[in-house]
A and B are shown apart, each in its own frame.
Chain A
Amino acid sequence: MKKLTILLLAAAIVILPFSSLYGEELTLFERYKENDISLSDLTEKYEKLVEEREEKLDSFENYRISRKSTFDSALGYASKENGILQVDWDIQNALYNLKSREAWLETSFRNTYLSLYKKVRSADQAYQSAGESLELYNETVSNNKKGYASDIEMLEAKYSYKKADNVYMASLRSLDSSFRSFQSLLGGALDFNDMSFDFTEPAGTPATLNEYISKALENSSSLSLVIQSITRYENELKYLDKYVISYNLSYYREKRESIETNLAILKLTLEKNKQDLIKDIEDRYNALILEKEKIGLLALSLEIAETDYEVNKDLYKRKLIDYSELIGSENSVKAATVDYQLAVYGFNTMLMELEYASSCFMSEDK
């Protein structure tokens, strides 16, 4: 019964026409977003930090600095200045995490949505394939009875059918599992009537590579967190130099050496992270440009299917081909249309992933 339900639902999804459902997709996405615990936690954390900002700043302003020794004073002043800076850094980092999560959810939703559709498609294909194998098997059994097919041929046909049936069952189970995951991501029962897969959208236009790189360098947390640590150590060094009695004293010297080594490590890490970030953006950008070329190829493929269909319509009218051939070419147009739409959808998702990797989500809020 369960299998039948899935089959009917899967069939309903496939049969439902592509229509203007952008709004419904957004509704699903909104449910997806609302149900994300991390996002609500991050929002709460960010709001709390903003709310507590003044109070925290005040507490650092009134921070008592130990005067037991000049060494303690140096550490105390550095700690106070870093503490004040940390209040805004924490807010900035929390905002970054929040925006980053929102942007990630968008691409994640698109990928999950597409993956679910592919499962439906795959189950449908497996169903057709199993049906064809069963037909062939029945035909072979019949031929075997008439003496036209050997026992081995019959066994082979049976094996093929069983294999195709297993593939079909596996694809149903896989669809069932993905559907349940999707439901849980949306936070409750999902009504298939609200869900007809629609991938019609125009291809987005990417900015230039340099724009992405500059945004990434400006906003990426892999850099800003290191920069914050560098500032912290630089402040420690500044106050240590200001209050130093003599670097011949081992505790001053050791502290300074430790700060300098950590600073050197952080500066190298910053350089390395910059290189890695640029490489990542370049790779993603180049892959995106290639993807755009593939869209052109699929547009051509669609044009071929459409031309072929037009020719076949004419041939059918003149009774030069049969109806099944005409329907076959019509189905090819439908398949080519879906492939084209999926390619555009995939391209747009890749574009969003590039924007995500470049921390574009921070541009307006920083």
Chain B
Amino acid sequence: MKKRIIIITLVLILTGTAVLGFDIIKLTPDEAYEAASQVDIQHEIDELNIVLKEAGLTSSQKNASYTAVNSYQGNITKYVSPFDAETNLMVSEMNLAKSEKQLMVTIFSSMLSLYDSRISYDDSIESYEAAKVAYNEGISNSSLSATELLSLEYTAENNRIKMLQAENTLTKRQKELDRLLGVENAAVELPVEYTSPYSLNKEEVYNSMIETDIALFQSKRSFESAKLRHEIAAKFYDEDEEMFISTLSSLMSSELNYNKKLQSIEDTVIDRIDQLKTMYDSIELEKLNVEIKESLYNASMKQYAAGIISVNSLESAKKAYDLALMQLDSKIYDYIISCMQFTIDTGYTF
């Protein structure tokens, strides 16, 4: 029912905008998330796989209740198999929960790619227009040699192809976002609020990641499962028998694997915080660039008013300022998306 309401709403939006002549359908992050959830096939597949895992756990628990514990295999069926089936289910559920959180990041990343490709496309149009003007002027200039004229044509043609490439990328990005949201010509509001990573407490992040990291959880459960197996093997086999040695070896290897994962988390936390710091610093640098371009633009306006520079120079200064603003926005969005990814991966909320 909910799905239908959303689809109908989207159809109404589409029809309305088509009548009013607007091309782009702007969605808030929540609307975009809702729309994407409805068309996310992989999510549906993952949910159904959980149903299968639940059935697997039930069946394993049922088998366990009928199984006698007078043999090694009987003990495995009774205690280890349900434990492993439970691990499979828990891991699938954790992965599903993570992929739900990941969806928002995917939406924002897709929108940011679209935003960046729009900047490149606009830029390529300008370059092409300028080269076309130069070529047309070249045609009417009789003093140019055939080679020089061909070179101008080449530049114009080269810029036209770059523009086509940029257009192609833009269309591709738009389609990717549309496919993700199930909406044609979509756009999503990108968040603008962000905080500094310099206040992050490494220990808190580390503790949070230990509690939430799926791979670590999985290896911990594998270690516990191996421990169970070996305890059972110890009851039925002597120390020199193959099964005893085999389960002991699995136990040791799973313990080693768990400890390795635990150690790697500490490094990961440091690396991830450092990455955020680098990105945050680059925002500050872009801000400086904006300030410079703004000053230059203000100076150009005064110079233009005084008749010192042409309107073309003023336009160039304006374009440089606009570009710097867009680049700053892009860096900010990129940082915010990375912070979201950081939260998903570490379980730590800013």
Contact = CB atoms under 8 A, between A and B. Distances in A.
Instruction: Decide whether A and B assemble into one complex.
Output: yes
Contacts of A283: 172
B65 interface: no
Contacts of B44: 268
Interface size class of A (residues with CB under 8 A): 20 to 34
Contact of A293 (B45, B145, B161): B161
A245 interface: no
Given A269-B45, A300-B157, A307-B146, A262 B52 contact: yes
B154 A301 contact: yes
B131 to A, nearest CB: 13
A163 B49 CA distance: 57
Nearest to B158: A297
Given A297-B154, A301-B154, A308 B147 contact: yes
A46 to B, nearest CB: 32
Interface stretch (A117-125, A147-155, A271-279): A271-279
Contacts of A300: 150, 153-154, 157
B9 interface: no
- What DSSP secondary structure best describes chain A's contact surface? helix
A304 B150 contact: yes
Interface size class of B (residues with CB under 8 A): 20 to 34
- What DSSP secondary structure best describes chain B's contact surface? helix
Contacts of A301: 154
A241 interface: no
A264 B44 CA distance: 9
Contact of A268 (B45, B59, B160, B168): B45
B264 interface: no
Contacts of A282: 175
A363 B246 CA distance: 52
A254 B55 contact: yes
Contacts of A272: 41-42, 45
B179 interface: yes
Interface string B153-184: 11001101100110010011001000100000
B41 A275 contact: yes
A265 B154 contact: no
B288 interface: no
A293 B159 CA distance: 11
B43 to A, nearest CB: 10
A283 B175 CA distance: 11
A261 B154 CA distance: 59
Contact of A294 (B45, B49, B55, B161): B161
B48 interface: yes
A286 B168 contact: yes
Contacts of B52: 258, 261-262, 265
A297 B49 CA distance: 51
Question: Max chain A CB contacts within 10 Å: which of B153, B157, B158, B160?
Answer: B157
Contacts of A261: 48, 51-52, 55
A304 B45 contact: no
B151 interface: yes
B48 A268 contact: yes
Contacts of B48: 261, 264-265, 268
A297 B161 contact: yes
A16 interface: no
A86 B191 CA distance: 53
A290 interface: yes
Question: Max chain A CB contacts within 10 Å: which of B45, B147, B158, B172?
Answer: B147
Question: Max chain B CB contacts within 10 Å: which of A268, A296, A301?
Answer: A268
A325 interface: no
Interface in B41-83: 41-42, 44-45, 48-49, 51-52, 55, 59
A275 B157 contact: no
Contacts of B51: 261
Interface in A238-294: 254, 257-258, 261-262, 264-265, 268-269, 271-272, 275, 279, 282-283, 286-287, 290, 293-294
The list of the 4 closest CB pairs from A to B, nearest first, reads A272-B41, A304-B150, A265-B48, A308-B147
Interface of A: 254, 257-258, 261-262, 264-265, 268-269, 271-272, 275, 279, 282-283, 286-287, 290, 293-294, 296-297, 300-301, 303-304, 307-308, 311
Interface of B: 41-42, 44-45, 48-49, 51-52, 55, 59, 145-147, 150-151, 153-154, 157-158, 160-161, 164-165, 168, 171-172, 175, 179
15 contacts: A261-B51, A262-B52, A265-B45, A265-B52, A275-B179, A282-B175, A283-B172, A297-B154, A297-B161, A300-B150, A300-B153, A300-B154, A307-B147, A308-B147, A311-B147
